[in-house]
């Protein structure tokens, strides 16, 4: 399936005289979706990059602007972007910027679609971030399917004499944990795409041992618009605590699976609507990613935002929304996810290697209705035991996912313990994973 891009709100909203985007228009980062990825279309849609003047790099005006905008990371953790910028800008010596377009999660497409449709906006973000932190090196770690388009865009900028540090492109490794920031740094430096568990975060000691700003490419694209249009413009969409728009990969039992740009605060149902609506009655949604959280259909009414999803114990993560239809079994789907994720352990930490395998086996027994009659007590204990015990958050993500399944599908879990299953087609999967 090729991801389709569209905007949640009307893409043909009127433009103002300069051809710049209207104050509240959508799409923002996907504004060039229909005009193509070239530099001319990019400049026509967004205008040129503003020039900033800074006396010292620790006082670069962009840091303040980003602070006022309230921009947060779109790579999964939602960390305030200005705080990272400031930490690296304050550091001594040479610094590095890494743009993370790894997007190794197999169902997620938003970063690839962004790089394909708006490579120059991403590169603007890289250029600005490098300027703000005084970086002498910029590295784009990109999923191999989009490194070509990004490379072409870099060459096009060079031909037009656009300034800034020329970014290097590194093809990303594509296994699940390869996009974790210490794994990305490790990959760039040593060609090893596993997390390091280092006590030093990249902003202290990253690529080549230098203070390194690691940001998701969507974060950088938003940053490039904040630099042009300002904080108030950025805040005209989104909510007070989560301003702006976000890219959502909408998949599963929806009519038009694809990538959509939504104002943060749009309801889950609005996002499903943008993706053409349900094609089957939904059983539940997987939000955030494979490493995300299950929410029941009562979640349709909540905002697809950190704040909206928090009461359901979920978060937007890297912007995945996957609708699972009632023909599927939530327990069986979770068993597939657990098996896949256990296999994606980077194989370094005992609790991750052995714990996730044991958890996947146990959920597998439950899915096959073969779990011993003492039910899920041991599984629940193991979920607690792996939490926080790896060098990266991989085990925590798996524990959260399985825990949410036990809560959202509790009736079905009980049925499975009693050797029954209510799904008409449990062999079907909406997850895009091999059916085991």
Partner 1 sequence: MSPATRAGAAASPGGRRRPVLRVDPIACDGRGICAELLPELVTLDDWGFPVVDGRPVPRELARLARRAVAACPTLALRLEHEHEHEHELS
Ligand X SMILES: Cc1cc2nc3c(=O)[nH]c(=O)nc-3n(C[C@H](O)[C@H](O)[C@H](O)COP(=O)(O)O)c2cc1C
Binding site for partner 1 (CB under 8 A): 79, 83-84, 87, 196-197, 199-201, 203-204, 348-352, 354-355, 358, 382, 385, 388-391
In the complex, what is the shortest distance from the CB of residue 197 to ligand SF4, in angstroms, rounded to a whole number? 6
- CB of 342 within 8 A of CB of 359? yes
Q: Do residues 229 and 219 make contact, with C-beta atoms less than 8 angstroms apart? A: no
Q: Provide, rounded to whole angstroms, the least separation between the CB of residue 389 and ligand SF4.
A: 8
Query: CB within 8 A of 343, min separation 6: which ones?
Result: none
**Can you name the residues that pair with 248 across neighbouring β-strands?**
260
Burial 82-91 (b: 16+ CB within 10 A, else e): bebbbbbbeb
Supply the minimum distance, in Å, between the C-beta of residue 364 and ligand SF4.
19
The dihedral region occupied by 150, where left means phi > 0, alpha psi between -120 and 50, and beta the remainder, is alpha
Is 168 or 204 the residue whose CB approaches partner 1 more closely? Answer: 204
Instruction: Find the binder of ligand SF4 among 348, 368, 378, 415 (CB under 6 A).
Output: 348
**Residue 233 neighbours by CB distance under 10 Å:** 19
Query: Using CB under 6 A as the criterion, which residues of the chain lie in contact with ligand X when the complex forms?
Result: 73-77, 79, 100, 102-104, 177, 179-181, 214-216, 219, 392-394
* Closest approach of ligand X to the CB of residue 292, in Å: 12
Closest CA to 197 of 76, 92, 88, 350: 350
Side-chain half-sphere of 109: how many Cα atoms within 13 Å?
21
Least Cβ distance, residue 205 to ligand X (angstroms): 15
Cα–Cα separations (whole angstroms), residue 196 to 20, 291, 388, 390: 44, 20, 15, 10
Residue owning tokens 């950088």: 220
**Residue 183 CB, nearest distance to ligand X (Å)?**
7
102 contact choice in ligand X, ligand SF4, partner 1, none (CB below 5 to 8 Å, kind-dependent): ligand X
Among 391, 399, 406, 431, binds ligand SF4 (CB under 6 A): 391
Return the residue of 108, 345, 376, 404 that touches ligand SF4, per CB under 6 A.
345
Residue nearer to ligand X on the CB measure, 403 or 416: 403
Residue showing the smallest CB distance to ligand SF4 in the complex: 390
Closer residue to ligand X in complex, CB, 80/375: 80
Alpha helix locations (H) across 194-256?
A: 217-229, 231-235
Q: How far is the CB of 76 from partner 1 (least distance, A)?
A: 16
Tokens of 209: 């041992």
Instruction: Answer whether 140's CB lies under 8 Å from 63's CB.
Output: no
The number of beta carbons lying within 10 Å of the beta carbon of residue 114 is: 28
Applying CB under 6 A, does 198 fall inside the site for ligand SF4? no
Contact between 37 and 153 (Cβ < 8 Å): yes
C-alpha pair distances (Å), 5 with each of 33, 118, 247, 261, 277 = 7, 11, 10, 8, 15
Task: Give the shortest CB-389-to-partner 1 separation in angstroms.
Answer: 6
Single out the residue of 352, 360, 363, 366 in contact with ligand SF4 (rule: CB under 6 A): 352
CB of 388 to partner 1, least distance (A): 8
Beta bridge partners of 247: 261
Count of residues touching ligand SF4 (by CB under 6 A): 14
In the list ligand X, partner 1, ligand SF4, none, the entry touching 426 (Cβ below 5 to 8 angstroms by class) is none
Q: How far apart are CA 213 and CA 195, in angstroms?
A: 16
Find the binder of ligand SF4 among 63, 65, 91, 177 (CB under 6 A). Answer: 177
Closest approach, Cβ 350 to ligand SF4, in A, equals 8
83 binds, among ligand SF4, ligand X, partner 1, none (CB under 5 to 8 A by kind): partner 1
Nearer to partner 1, 197 or 277 (CB): 197
Selected range binding ligand SF4 among 236-244, 248-256, 377-385, 386-394, rule: CB under 6 A: 386-394
* 199: partner contacted, choices ligand X, ligand SF4, partner 1, none (Cβ within 5-8 A by kind): partner 1
Among 390, 405, 406, 430, binds ligand SF4 (CB under 6 A): 390
Residue-by-residue DSSP string for 87-139: HHHHSSS-EEEEEEE----TT--HHHHHHHH-HHHHHHHHHHHHHHHTEEEEE
Q: Which is nearer to ligand SF4, 177 or 379 (CB)?
A: 177
Q: Is 355 in the site for ligand SF4 (CB under 6 A)?
A: no
Q: Which residues bind ligand SF4 (CB under 6 A)?
A: 177, 194-195, 345-349, 352, 390-392, 394-395
């Amino acid at each position: 399936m090729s991801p389709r891009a569209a905007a949640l709100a009307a893409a043909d909203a009127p433009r103002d005289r300069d051809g710049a985007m209207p104050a509240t228009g959508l799409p923002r980062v996907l504004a060039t979706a229909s005009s193509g990825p070239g530099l001319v279309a990019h400049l026509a849609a967004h205008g040129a990059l503003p020039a900033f003047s800074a006396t010292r790099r620790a006082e670069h005006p962009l840091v303040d602007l980003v602070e006022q905008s309230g921009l947060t990371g779109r790579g999964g953790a939602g960390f305030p972007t200005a705080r990272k910028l400031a930490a690296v800008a304050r550091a001594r010596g040479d610094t590095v910027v890494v743009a993370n377009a790894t997007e190794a999660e197999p169902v997620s497409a938003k970063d690839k679609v962004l790089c394909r449709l708006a490579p120059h906006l991403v590169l603007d973000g890289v250029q600005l971030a490098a300027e703000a932190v005084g970086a002498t090196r910029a590295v784009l770690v990109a999923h191999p399917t989009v490194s070509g388009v990004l490379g072409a865009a870099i060459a096009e900028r060079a031909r037009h004499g656009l300034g800034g540090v020329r970014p290097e492109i590194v093809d990303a490794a594509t296994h699940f944990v390869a996009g974790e920031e210490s794994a990305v740094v490790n990959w760039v430096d040593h060609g090893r795409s596993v997390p390091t568990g280092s006590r030093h975060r990249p902003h202290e000691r990253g690529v080549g041992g230098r203070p390194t700003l690691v940001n998701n490419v969507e974060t950088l694209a938003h940053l490039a618009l904040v630099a042009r249009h300002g904080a108030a413009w950025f805040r005209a969409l989104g909510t007070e605590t989560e301003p702006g728009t976000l890219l959502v990969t909408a998949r599963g039992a929806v009519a038009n699976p694809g990538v959509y740009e939504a104002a943060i605060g749009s309801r889950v149902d609005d996002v499903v609507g943008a993706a053409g609506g349900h094609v089957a009655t939904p059983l539940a949604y997987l939000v955030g990613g494979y490493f995300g959280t299950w929410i029941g259909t009562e979640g349709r009414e909540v905002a697809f935002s950190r704040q909206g999803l928090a009461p359901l114990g979920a978060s937007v993560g890297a912007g995945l929304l996957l609708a699972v239809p009632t023909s599927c079994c939530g327990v069986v789907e979770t068993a597939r996810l657990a098996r896949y994720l256990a296999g994606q352990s980077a194989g370094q930490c005992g609790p991750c290697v052995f714990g996730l395998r044991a958890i996947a086996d146990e959920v597998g027994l439950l899915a096959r209705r073969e779990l011993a009659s003492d039910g899920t007590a041991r599984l629940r204990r193991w979920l607690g035991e792996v939490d926080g015990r790896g060098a990266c958050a991989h085990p925590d993500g798996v524990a959260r996912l399985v825990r949410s399944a036990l809560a959202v599908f509790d009736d079905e879990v009980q049925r499975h313990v009693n050797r029954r299953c209510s799904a008409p087609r449990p062999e079907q999967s909406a997850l895009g994973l091999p059916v085991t």
